[in-house]
Amino acid sequence: MTTSENGRKLIESFESCSLTAYLDQGGIPTLGWGHTLGVKMGDTCTQAQADAWLEEDLATAEGAVNRLIQADALDQNRFDALVSFTYNLGQGSLAESTVRKRLNLEPPDYSGAASSILWWNKANGETDPGLVRRRQAEQKLFLTPTENPAG
């Protein structure tokens, strides 16, 4: 699966785009749409580079969700919510999360997975209001059934 336009807009709404490196809530140098790989304070980029990194980072997050989540019944909204979660936290966090464990049960525990999304709201050991809002938005999307375009 790949991220829908709706999922991409969710990620962009929380990441925003900075063409100058800044320290994120966790103190990690960040540039573009939340890109961290190889970024140092003082770095800058163009909008085109920020957009290219967004595509690369989205592909990494999509690959992690596709690889780590065994649930066959992931609809588009669940997938998009998990990509946003992974884009923000990294594939290692998804791999170790209760979200993943609950989705990979047979049958998948979707309600439990949705509840577990909310647990990931801390930066430097403190509850972060921005992460609370993001996790709530991801949970809401995860719990919203994808509409069937055929009716």
Query: What SS3 class is residue 57?
Result: helix
Q: Catalytic residue at 15?
A: yes
Residue 106 half-sphere exposure, CB side, CA atoms within 13 Å? Answer: 1
Q: Catalytic residue at 24?
A: yes
Separation of alpha carbons 4 and 1, rounded Å: 9
pLDDT of 149 over the 60 cut: no
Residue 149 lies in a domain: no
* 12, 24, 43, 75: the active-site residue: 24
Q: What angle do CA 71, 77, 78 make, to 5 degrees?
A: 30
When pLDDT is averaged across residues 46-68 and rounded to a whole number, the result is 97
The domain in which residue 18 lies consists of 5-143
Separation of alpha carbons 83 and 62, rounded Å: 6
pLDDT of 151 over the 80 cut: no
Please provide residue 49's backbone torsions phi and psi, each rounded to the nearest 5 degrees: -70, -40
pLDDT of 150 over the 60 cut: no
Residue 25 confidence (pLDDT)? 81
DSSP category for residue 126: E
**pTM for this entry:** 0.92
Separation of alpha carbons 137 and 140, rounded Å: 5
When pLDDT is averaged across residues 62-88 and rounded to a whole number, the result is 94
148 band by pLDDT with thresholds 50, 70 and 90: low
Residue 108 tokens read as: 């998948």
Residue 130 lies in a domain: yes
Residue 148 lies in a domain: no
Residue 151 lies in a domain: no
Share of the chain above pLDDT 70, in %: 97
Please, are residues 120 and 85 in contact by the beta-carbon 8 Å criterion?
yes
Tell me how many domains the chain contains: 1
Residue 83 lies in a domain: yes
* 5, 12, 15, 109: the active-site residue: 15
Q: What is the CATH number of the domain that holds 30?
A: 1.10.530.40
pLDDT tens per residue across span 92-135? 999 999 999 999 999 999 999 999 999 999 988 899 999 999 99
Residue 123 lies in a domain: yes
Residue 13 tokens read as: 């709404």
